[in-house]
Amino acid sequence: MRFVAGLPDVEGSVLGPRYNRAGSRTPMQWEPGPAGGFSTAAPDRFYLPLDPDPDCPDVAAQRADGRSLLHLVRDLIRLRKDNAAELGTGPAGALEVLSDGYPLAYLRGGRFLVVVNPSVRTERAAHGRPELAAAKPVLGSGVSVSAEAITAGPFSYGIFRS
């Protein structure tokens, strides 16, 4: 689902002079088509309109695409569930920050390296942990780890296991 700009103020969706959250509250589009599988009602009776773009995302397409955001979120949930001790909130899931700028890089539970770069530029962070070069990628895109540094491409992320 995407933000749809220009929607009317519905039940206090305007949160200040520059932000209307109605565009984040549009109906779930379950499948392609005029009503998106959301309802059998006429679209003019919907609480908020659907995304008008004919190529808008829908659940059916996300399910069919193994590289979709839906599948990524499911993979992240499975990873956390399967590694609850290291990735959970208990003492075994201790956090060690390696870089608090871009890229953000930290160790969870001493075994998982997590890297996020929301920047439009490739970013590099020295880490001083040569053993991280042997960490194996679990999930991610655009991140590499050497004995000296982490390099993260634009809008990239990575989860590695040592």
Residue 159 has pLDDT above 90, yes or no: yes
User: How many angstroms from the chain centroid is the CA of residue 135?
Assistant: 22
Quick: pLDDT tens for 76-124.
999 999 999 899 887 777 899 999 999 999 999 989 999 999 999 999 9
Quick: pLDDT tens for 112-156.
999 999 999 999 999 989 999 999 999 999 999 999 999 999 999
> Quick one: tokens of 73?
């979120």
CB within 8 Å of 21: residues ≥ 6 apart:
13, 14, 15
Domain 82-161: CATH architecture, name and number where available: Sandwich (2.60)
Q: What is the dihedral of CA 102, 124, 159, 153, to 10 degrees?
A: 90
Domain ranges of the chain: 1-64, 82-161
Q: Max Cα separation, the chain?
A: 61
Place of tokens 């590289």: 67
